[in-house]
Amino acid sequence: MDCMKALLGRRSVRHYLDRPVEMDKVIRALEAAHWAPSGKNNQPWRFVVICEMDIREELAKLTISGRIIREAPIAVAVFMDRDVSYHREKDLQAIGACIENMLLAFHCQGLGSVWLGEILKNKEKVEAILKVPASWEFVALVSAGYPASEGSSDRRPLEEVTIWR
């Protein structure tokens, strides 16, 4: 898919078909995420891919976006590894770039996805459910699957958010 078309066409998808997602597509999305830029190239992101319904159900109970986690066949939990972190703010910026790469890679492969942050209020519970190493700090969950309906969203005019000097 043309790069600008992908960037401008991606929308959060919150309704999914009951159709399994091919693992090679998930791996491609993880690869795209992993190729995000990071300060000092420290690659602070870590991933847990969740396919099992039982685990998704446990996570779903931790957020008002639970219906999405139940419906989407794939969830990817994204973490920051404190052991490699050198500057918290920059590392979280890098992980933001990594998540956007992941969303775009899903979109380019005909899948829909959504970045779920509301669940962050329960980050310790997510870390316990997923049994991650102690140095992994939960940052966000991405739900993904074949879209049942396209998302829609708008943006303010560019002039409102840009100053030229």
Ligand X SMILES: Cc1cc2nc3c(=O)[nH]c(=O)nc-3n(C[C@H](O)[C@H](O)[C@H](O)COP(=O)(O)O)c2cc1C
Residue 69, token pair as written in the block: 């986690």
Contact present, 142 and 65 (Cβ < 8 Å): no
CB of 11 or CB of 28, closer to ligand X = 11
**Could you give the CA distance from residue 63 to residue 83 in angstroms, rounded to a whole number?**
28
Q: Which amino acid is at 24?
A: D
* Residue 27: CB minimum distance to ligand X, A: 23
CA proximity to 47, closest of 24, 63, 31, 25 = 31
Binder of ligand X out of 38, 43, 65, 101 (CB under 6 A) = 65
- 12 binds ligand X per the rule CB under 6 A: yes
The yes or no reply on residue 101 touching ligand X (CB under 6 A) is no
Helices (H), the chain: 3-9, 23-34, 53-60, 66-71, 88-108, 123-130
Q: Which of 41, 89, 134, 153 binds ligand X (CB under 6 A)?
A: 153
Q: Is 104 in the site for ligand X (CB under 6 A)?
A: no
* Residue (4 or 134) nearer to ligand X, CB: 4
Looking at the Cβ atoms of 23 and 64, the one nearer to ligand X is: 64
| Residue ranges in 113-142 that form contacts with ligand X under rule CB under 6 A | 114-118
Rounded to the nearest whole angstrom, what is the least distance from the CB of residue 54 to ligand X in the complex? Answer: 21
CA dihedral 26, 29, 31, 34 (to 10 degrees): -120
Helix, strand, or coil (residue 140): strand
Least CB distance to ligand X at residue 97 (A): 12
Q: Which residues bind ligand X (CB under 6 A)?
A: 11-12, 14, 65, 114-118, 151, 153
